[in-house]
């Protein structure tokens, strides 16, 4: 069995995001970038399946600029076997474009499991996994919080849904998107970081895919979230009720 | 001077200024080299008797000569800071704060070199002590240098530094290598998740760092960094060691210091051991199965190790060790002691010393020394907790002659000296980690705390302290990484390693002190981590060569050059 793990390079979750002064997007100069945390969970899950001998190969795929090689490399340092970078000039591609590329790579690689984060923490789209499953006509299990491989070529996946937990059984090959509680990704150890240096990353130009990468969406403006106004003290209950009614208009 | 840059105008781009004036900084460095040479030659001729540096004269002039060690430490620090900025810039990675820190460092250190350097809070060395006078600093009257000083010392540059810190943009590390960046990233994460949240609790409970944290560190490879690959290690070199050490120490000094012991024992055995000793011990140290402890200091011999009195006498095929040792860090929870003892009673000095690899059963808090002939008691300490220090008595401890390091007597002191370069670099990296921790804690506090209707961060006396911390931490880090790179390239760097340790230890203490000041009364409360960092930082000036001894070693090296 082979897993294809899709990872995206995003601004590190610890960084305080700043909007560019022309409001065209967020500041990325000298900003620390890392693997999207949900994708890190996907890498971890694939490696755990490999450690249980349920998967033989873990391939890490990223679509992005040359710098995304670093992101792939950190997946290899966690324990991935090899990497594929589909190289683009642009930092951000829309989910549909990404989905089409993943389909194309998948047609060639023929993975049994495509596993990726439920969303990227930069654009929060939560679309890519679903689009990939649709394009490939694979079954999908999204928001996975537990994953088990059965002996009959199916996966049992527990999903986090609004009302609680839902467990589904899906056929392989399939697409799984990961939620926060699926696992806690490991730290890459020094020996594994050293080993990752020798692992192969194939670099493919996006132009070599016969795919229309034109954006369908146009960003008009990016704004900082409004600053929270300081609170005030009221003298008594009456004035509190009065303010809730007339100012906050919640009563 | 670039006419677009005017300190009084609203917009100043320090990076632009630095890039168009790099030649001035280079010129300053070459002037300083001349000044340094003049001072050195003057000391040489004043201290030479019978064609060699006379130890008695050296001692009479101790403060002055140590002042020269500090002077040259500043010079090398500035040189490496400029080299750091230049490398960053060549890689298109320099940012405004990097430029601001570089300019601030040049201006501040240059002023101190001309007017007086604080070797400690109570000792200032002045140019006249170094056989220098106003003429030697004439170049500082050039218009271009004056502009630099004005810009570099301005409140404006410090505001820019602190604005950047406020946005979480710190001076770049400048590691310049994808693998090192990844190592830094992983250990930062580990420290933030597994060390930082617990450090204060471990400190306040005076507890050992828990076994499972040790195990995780071993799995990550902390103890195997410097051990060669053919002996089960990673053979990664000193720069990687610095990166890991700084991160761990930023969380908790003892966490960054666990590796020190593996480093000392590893280097002793790698450089001085027989093939059999290497094969037996190095893989076990690398895996973390064997924890080591360094047993050198005695109640009556600390800095003057060469005169120690613990004895090891050969009886048949065994040595019998007797003596008292003290300040033994991690003395209980460890499996292998590297013991320095006297084998030749006729040689009173360092030539009579030998190093022994003494195995012992691992102790714990309840039963620290479960070995016959070994007893001891804990020394309660201000900081640097997490491993525990002990005073130890060794009584008729029997070790096979196979456990004499290198199986040759009389080499113990020399073998120990060979490890000093590495140990100093590692200790400098620990100090940089502590310094960075102090900076980060006080930055956060200064953002959160408001007085007189605004964040205290906005007051010049607060942001000036923060900018100073960021600047000095950077200089200390860059001189440390420089020594590490030299060591990795097999270049001799004993002097620079000593300089790194000397400066970084002072910076750690002064950062901690300023950081506590920024905390006001809360800084004095045990509950606030900065109170621990203050205690932790204080040790760095004492062990691995106390500041006075370190300066002595540096100046002896400089005068021999
Ligand atoms: C927390 C802690 C952990 C330690 N861990 C270990 C360990 O694991 N293993 C180990 O073997 N040792 C350890 N040490 C011991 C440490 O290495 C010594 O404390 C250090 O070498 C200084 O020796 P000393 O304390 O005897 O001071 P002294 O040598 O007595 O020095 C006292 C003061 O005099 C100064 N001084 C001494 N000689 C001169 C001189 N010629 N000129 C000018 N000034 C001078 C010193 O710089 C110092 O300021 C540890 C110490 C501490 C505090």
- Tell me the pLDDT tens digit for each residue of B439-450: 999 999 999 999
B126: helix, strand or coil:
coil
Please state the length of chain A.
Answer: 251
Token pair, residue A242, equals 């009065």
Taking the centre of ligand 1 as the mean of its atom positions, its distance from the CA of residue B366, in whole angstroms, is 28
* pLDDT tens per residue across span A111-165: 999 999 999 999 899 999 999 999 999 999 999 999 999 999 999 999 999 889 9
**Percentage, residues of chain B above pLDDT 90:** 96
Contact A147, A111 (CB under 8 A): no
Q: Measured between beta carbons, which residues in chain B are less than 8 angstroms from residue A16?
A: 167-168
B222 neighbourhood in chain A, CB within 8 Å: 190
Percent of chain B with pLDDT over 70: 98
Ligand 1 atom 24, closest CA: B302
pLDDT of residue A87: 97
Alpha helices for A124-246 (secondary structure H): 128-136, 190-196, 237-246
Query: Which residue in B167, B169, B225 is closest to A190 by CB distance?
Result: B225
Cα(B101)–Cα(B395) distance, rounded to whole angstroms?
55
Q: Is the CB of A34 inside 8 Å of chain B's CB atoms?
A: yes
Q: With a 6 A CB cut-off, is B296 part of the ligand 1 pocket? A: yes
Mutate to test the pocket of ligand 1, among B206, B253, B264, B303 (most ligand atoms within 8 A of CB): B303
Cα-only R_g, chain A? 21
Assess whether the C-beta atom of B390 lies below 6 angstroms from ligand 1.
no
Whose Cα sits closest to atom 38 in ligand 1? Answer: B303
CA of B378 to the centre of ligand 1 (A): 17
A21 touches B at CB < 8 Å: no
Helices (H), B191-289: 196-205, 211-220, 238-251, 253-272, 275-287
B141 CB contacts (<8 Å, ≥6 apart)? none
Residue of A190, A192, A193, A224 to mutate, testing the B interface (most B Cβ within 10 Å of its Cβ): A190
Mean pLDDT of chain B: 96
Closest residue by Cα to atom 50, ligand 1, is B327
pLDDT above 70: percentage of residues in chain A = 100
Give the other-Cβ count within 10 Å of B47's Cβ: 21
Would you call B196 an interface residue with chain A, using a CB distance cutoff of 8 Å? no
Decide: A181 and A121 in contact? Cβ < 8 Å: no
Q: Which contiguous run of DSSP H or E holds residue B92?
A: none
**Tokens describing residue B243:** 């990166």
**Smallest Cα distance from A139 to chain B, Å:** 35
Name the DSSP class of A17.
Answer: P
Task: Determine how many CB atoms are found less than 10 A away from the CB of residue A53.
Answer: 8
CA A40, CA B487: separation in Å to the nearest integer?
36
Closest CA to B102 of B81, B128, B127: B81
Token output for A85: 């970078």
Tokens of B517: 């000041």
What is the least distance, in Å, from the CA of A41 to any CA of chain B? 15
Nearest to B217 by CA among B253, B190, B246, B193: B190
The three-state secondary structure class of B315 is strand
Cis-peptide into A173, omega within 30 deg: yes
Taking Cα atoms as reference points, which of B428, B517, B466, B457 lies closest to residue B101? B466
Burial class (CB in 10 A: 0-12, 13-18, 19+), B335: middle
**pLDDT-based confidence at B11, cuts 50/70/90?**
low
Of B168, B219, B222, the CB nearest to A16: B168
Return the HEC string of B479-512.
HHHHHHHHHHCCCCCHHHHHHHHHHHHHHHHHHH
Q: What is the pLDDT of residues A213-236, one digit of tens each?
A: 888 989 899 998 888 777 888 889
- Reading the block at residue B93, the tokens are 């990675």
Identify which of B560, B529, B510, B520 has the alpha carbon closest to the alpha carbon of residue B117.
B510
Q: What's the CA-to-centroid distance between B543 and ligand 1, angstroms?
A: 6
Which atom of ligand 1 is least distant from the CA of B297?
A: 11
Q: Is the pLDDT confidence value at A200 over 90? A: yes
The predicted pLDDT at position B1 comes to 42
Q: How far apart are CA B114 and CA B500, in angstroms?
A: 21
pLDDT exceeds cutoff 80 at B165? yes
Q: Count the neighbouring beta carbons within 10 Å of the beta carbon of residue B94.
A: 23
| B55 Cβ below 6 A of ligand 1 | no
Q: Is the CB of B476 under 6 A from ligand 1?
A: no
A188 interaction partners in chain B (CB closer than 8 Å): 182, 186
């Amino acid at each position: 069995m082979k897993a294809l793990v899709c990872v995206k390079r995003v601004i590190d979750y610890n960084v305080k995001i700043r909007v560019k002064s022309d409001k065209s997007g967020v500041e990325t100069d000298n900003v620390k970038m890392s693997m999207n945390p949900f994708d890190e969970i996907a890498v971890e899950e694939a490696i755990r399946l490999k450690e249980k001998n349920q998967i033989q190969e873990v391939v890490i795929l990223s679509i992005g600029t040359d710098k995304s090689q670093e992101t792939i490399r950190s997946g290899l340092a966690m324990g991935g076997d090899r990497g594929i970078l589909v190289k683009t000039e642009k930092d951000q591609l829309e989910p549909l474009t990404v989905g089409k590329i993943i389909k194309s790579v998948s047609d060639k690689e023929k993975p049994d499991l495509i596993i990726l984060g439920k969303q990227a923490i930069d654009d929060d789209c939560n679309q890519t996994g679903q689009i990939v499953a649709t394009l490939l006509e694979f079954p999908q299990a999204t928001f996975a919080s537990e994953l088990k491989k059965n002996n009959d070529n199916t996966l049992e996946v527990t999903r986090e849904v609004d009302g609680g937990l839902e467990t589904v059984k899906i056929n392989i090959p399939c697409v799984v998107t990961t939620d926060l509680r699926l696992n806690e990704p490991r730290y890459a150890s020094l020996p594994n970081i050293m080993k990752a240096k020798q692992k192969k990353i194939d670099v493919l130009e996006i132009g070599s895919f016969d795919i229309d990468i034109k954006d369908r969406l146009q960003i008009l403006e990016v704004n900082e979230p409004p600053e929270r106004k300081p609170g005030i003290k009221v003298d008594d209950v009456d004035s509190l009720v009065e303010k809730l009614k007339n100012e906050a208009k919640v009563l | 001077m670039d006419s677009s840059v005017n300190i009084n105008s609203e917009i100043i781009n320090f990076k632009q200024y630095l890039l168009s004036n790099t030649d001035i900084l280079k010129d300053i460095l070459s002037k300083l080299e001349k000044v340094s040479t003049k001072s050195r030659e003057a000391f040489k001729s004043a201290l030479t008797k019978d064609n060699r540096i006379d130890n008695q004269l050296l001692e009479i002039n101790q403060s002055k000569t140590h002042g020269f060690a500090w002077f040259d430490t500043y010079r090398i620090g500035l040189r490496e800071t400029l080299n750091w900025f230049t490398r960053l810039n060549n890689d298109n990675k320099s940012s405004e704060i990097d430029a601001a820190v570089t300019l601030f460092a040049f201006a501040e250190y240059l002023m101190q070199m001309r007017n007086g350097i604080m070797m400690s809070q109570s000792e200032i060395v002045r140019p006249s002590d170094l056989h220098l006078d106003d003429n030697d600093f004439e170049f500082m009257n050039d218009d271009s240098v004056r502009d630099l000083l004005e810009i570099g010392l301005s409140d404006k540059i410090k505001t820019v530094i602190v604005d950047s810190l406020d946005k979480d943009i710190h001076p770049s590390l400048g590691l310049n290598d994808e693998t090192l960046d990844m190592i830094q990233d992983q250990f930062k994460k580990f420290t933030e998740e597994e060390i930082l949240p617990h450090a204060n609790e471990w400190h306040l409970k005076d507890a050992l760092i828990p076994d499972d944290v040790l195990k995780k560190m071993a799995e990550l490879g902390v103890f195997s960094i410097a051990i060669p690959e053919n002996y089960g290690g990673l053979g990664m070199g000193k720069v990687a060691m610095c990166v890991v050490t700084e991160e761990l120490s930023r969380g908790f000094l003892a966490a960054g210091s666990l590796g020190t012991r593996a480093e000392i024992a590893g280097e002793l055995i790698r450089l001085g051991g027989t093939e059999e000793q290497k094969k037996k011990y190095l893989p076990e140290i690398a895996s973390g199965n064997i924890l080591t402890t360094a047993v050198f200091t005695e109640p009556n011999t600390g800095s003057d190790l060469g005169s120690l009195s613990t004895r090891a006498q050969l009886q048949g095929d065994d040595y019998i060790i007797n003596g008292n040792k003290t300040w033994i860090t991690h003395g209980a929870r460890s499996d292998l002691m590297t013991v320095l003892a006297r084998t030749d009673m006729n040689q009173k000095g360092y030539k009579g010393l030998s190093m022994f690899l003494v195995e012992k059963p691992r102790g714990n808090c309840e039963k620290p020394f479960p070995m016959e002939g070994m007893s001891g008691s804990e020394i309660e300490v201000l900081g640097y907790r997490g491993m525990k220090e002990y005073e130890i008595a060794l009584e008729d401890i029997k070790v096979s002659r196979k456990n004499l390091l290198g199986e040759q007597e009389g080499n113990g002191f020399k073998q120990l000296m060979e490890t000093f370069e590495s140990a100093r670099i590692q200790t400098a990296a620990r100090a940089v980690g502590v310094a960075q921790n102090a900076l980060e804690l006080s930055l956060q506090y200064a953002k959160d705390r408001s007085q007189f209707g605004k964040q205290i961060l906005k007051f010049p006396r607060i942001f000036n302290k923060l900018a100073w911390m960021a600047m000095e931490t950077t200089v200390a880090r860059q001189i440390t990484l420089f020594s590490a790179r030299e060591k990795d390239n097999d270049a001799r760097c004993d002097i620079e390693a000593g300089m790194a340790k000397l400066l970084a230890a002072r910076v750690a203490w002064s950062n901690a002190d300023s950081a506590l000041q920024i905390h006001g009364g809360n800084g004095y409360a045990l509950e606030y981590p900065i109170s621990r960092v203050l205690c932790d930082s204080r040790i760095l000036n004492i062990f691995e060569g106390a500041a006075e001894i370190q300066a002595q070693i540096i100046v002896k090296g400089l005068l021999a050059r």
